[in-house]
Structure 1
Amino acid sequence: MSIDVEWARGELSRFLELTELYRPPDPPGMLVFSTRKSNRGKPADIISSAHVVEQILDRVLPDWRTEIPADGNQRINRWYQHREAAQRADAALQRDAEIRERLGDTAPRLSAASLHPWVWSAARALWRDGHFREAVTAAARKVNRETQNKVGRREVTETALFQSVFSKDDPKPGQPRLRLMTDDGSDTFRSVQRGAAAFAEGCYAGIRNPNSHEDGLPELPQHEALEQLAAFSVLARWVDTAALAT
């Protein structure tokens, strides 16, 4: 679903107005010597606006919490980081299409928020804090749990689970299957099921296991972590849309 640019820019503009600093006027008949400034908006209004704005920022600038410095200037204005992010997001919403066209970068972009909900809901909090490797591991665990829920099995997990559910064999008592297409006995059916099982094994053996079991690994670069999340998103979508055969 695309962003309602006009609405989003309106919310950003309102937040920037509420969090603008100004020097309150002196009380009548008094002269106050102070450099203290306050936000124009009431605290309750700012917090309410920030709740919406943070979600806009997460869509437009997914890495704003880690890329925009929060220390130092927040002593002057608590909402400094949010304000800078809001200003950048507004520029992005207003001119992103123009910039990409002028600079020749018209390649499609992958947004973490567009990944399968199982994946992004599990990864989101860790991702926002810059823990990309842990975010991928959390997504892998979530896909595993949801697959167990769909087939009603708890005694088997990860690679063994997916080998079973994507097996080309007929279902057995206690061993249901997930069918990505109708079992018509064709080579295509067998290829699809075999490929899904192999893909799932690659995700867990090649991504999930190293991320979880190797101590001292450096943090994943963000773009690599996003690619890994995308792999689990593909697997999650296959499981979610597959027909359950019992």
Structure 2
Amino acid sequence: MAIDTAWARQEFTNFLTLTELYHRADPPGMTVVSSRLSNRGPAAEIMASAQVVEQILDRVLPRWRSEIPDSQNRTVNRWVQHREAVQRAMVVLDREAEVREKLGDHAPQLSAATLHPWAWEGARSLWQSGHFREAVTAAARKVNAETQNKVGRRDVTESALFKEVFSVDEPRPGRPRLHAVPDDGSKTFGSVQRGVASFAEGCFAAIRNPNSHEAELSELPEHEALEQLAAFSVLARWVDTATLAS
């Protein structure tokens, strides 16, 4: 789902207005020397606005917390980092389509926030701090755990779990199945079931397992990590929409 640019800009503008910085007037007869600045808006309104603004920033500039310095939050004003992030994000919103068109890359864009929640919510915090390989591993764990929850099993995990639950065999007590498509006895049903199980094996064997040894590996480029995250999103969606047969 694309972001509502007009709404986002309005929220950003409101936040910048509330957090406008200024020097408080010195008390009568006193001269105060300080680098601290105050905000024009009431603290309660700023906090309420920030709750929304942070979510927009997470979509537009996912790494803003780690890439934009926060040192002046302590010496000048607590909202300095937010203000710079908002100003950068407004430029992105205003110019992104133009830049992509002028540079000749008008291909569809994939946003992590539009992936299945099991994949993105599992990875979000690590992703935003630039730990992409660990983020993908966290997403894999989340998808595995949610699959276990859906079938009520803890005795089997990862590739073996998916091979079990997407088997074409009839369910048995304590061993339910997940049907990605209705079981009409057709070759298509069997093909899809085997396909999901094989896809899951590939995800865990070729992505999750190597990534779990991240101390021995260099950090993933962000675009490559996003591709891996998308793979687990596909798997999560199959599990989430599958019919439980027990």
Give the TM-score normalised by the residue count of structure 2: 0.90
Which AA in structure 2 matches 1:108?
P
- RMSD over aligned Cα atoms: 2.1
Instruction: Measure the CA separation in 2 of the matches of 1:204 and 1:17.
Output: 48
Tell me, in whole angstroms, the C-alpha distance in 2 between the residues paired with 1:177 and 1:160. Answer: 13
2:92 maps to 92
Secondary structure of 2:2's aligned partner: coil
Contact 1:57 1:64 in 2 (8 A): yes
More deviation, 210-219/220-229: 210-219
Q: Which residue of 1 aligns with 2:178?
A: 178
Unaligned runs of 5+ in 1: none
Q: Check the 8 A contact 1:74/1:81 in 2, yes or no.
A: no
Please state how far the C-alpha of 1:86 moved relative to its aligned partner: 0.3
How far the C-alpha of 1:148 sits from its partner, in A, is: 1.0
Contact 2:159–2:204 at 8 Å: present in 1 too?
yes
In the TM superposition, residue 169 of structure 1 has moved relative to its aligned partner by 1.8
The residue matched to 1:244 in structure 2 has which SS? strand
Kept after mapping to 2: 8 A contact 1:183/1:189: yes
Q: Size of the alignment, in residue pairs?
A: 245
Work out the CA distance in 2 between the residues paired with 1:219 and 1:203. Answer: 18
Show CA shifts across 1:189-219 (max 9, x none).
Answer: 2221111111100111111111124533222
Paired position in structure 2 for 1:46 = 46
Instruction: Write the distance in 1 (CA, Å) between the matches of 2:198 and 2:189.
Output: 14
Q: 3-state SS of the aligned residue for 2:178?
A: strand
**How big is the shift at 1:158?**
0.8
1:44-193 mapped onto 2 (5 Å cutoff): 44-71=44-71, 75-193=75-193
The alpha-carbon deviation at position 19 of structure 1 amounts to 2.5
Secondary structure of the structure 1 residue equivalent to 2:215: coil
Distance 1:64 1:50 in 2: 14
Counterpart-to-counterpart distance in 1, 2:244 and 2:79: 49
Residues 13-32 of structure 1 deviation map (CA, whole Å, 9 limit, x = unaligned) = 122223232222334x5362
Shift of 1:237: 0.1
Separation of aligned partners in 2, 1:51 and 1:214: 33
Checking the alignment, whether the CA contact within 8 Å between 1:74 and 1:80 is kept in structure 2 is no
- Per-residue deviation, residues 149-197 of structure 1 (Å, max 9, x unmatched): 1111111111110001111222222221111112233332222111111
Q: Following the alignment from structure 1 to structure 2, what is the Cα–Cα distance between the partners of residues 146 and 99?
A: 40
2: CA distance between counterparts of 1:2 and 1:110? 10
C-alpha displacement at 1:102, in angstroms?
2.8
Q: Work out the CA distance in 1 between the residues paired with 2:226 and 2:121.
A: 14
Q: Determine the structure 1 residue equivalent to 2:33.
A: 34
Between 1:123-132 and 1:76-85, the stretch displaced more is: 76-85
Q: Are the aligned partners of 2:72 and 2:78 in contact in 1 as well (CA < 8 Å)?
A: no
Question: Which residue identity lines up with residue 119 of structure 2 in the other structure?
Answer: V
C-alpha contact (below 8 Å) 1:18/1:39 kept by paired residues:
no
CA distance in 2 between counterparts of 1:14 and 1:214 reads 42
- State the one-letter code of the partner of 2:29: M
CA distance in 1, matches of 2:90, 2:245: 49
Q: Is the Cα–Cα contact under 8 Å of residues 21 and 37 in structure 1 kept in the other structure? A: no
**Match in the other structure for 2:244:** 244
Shift of 1:35: 5.2
| Distance in 2 between residues matched to 1:6 and 1:209, nearest whole Å | 42
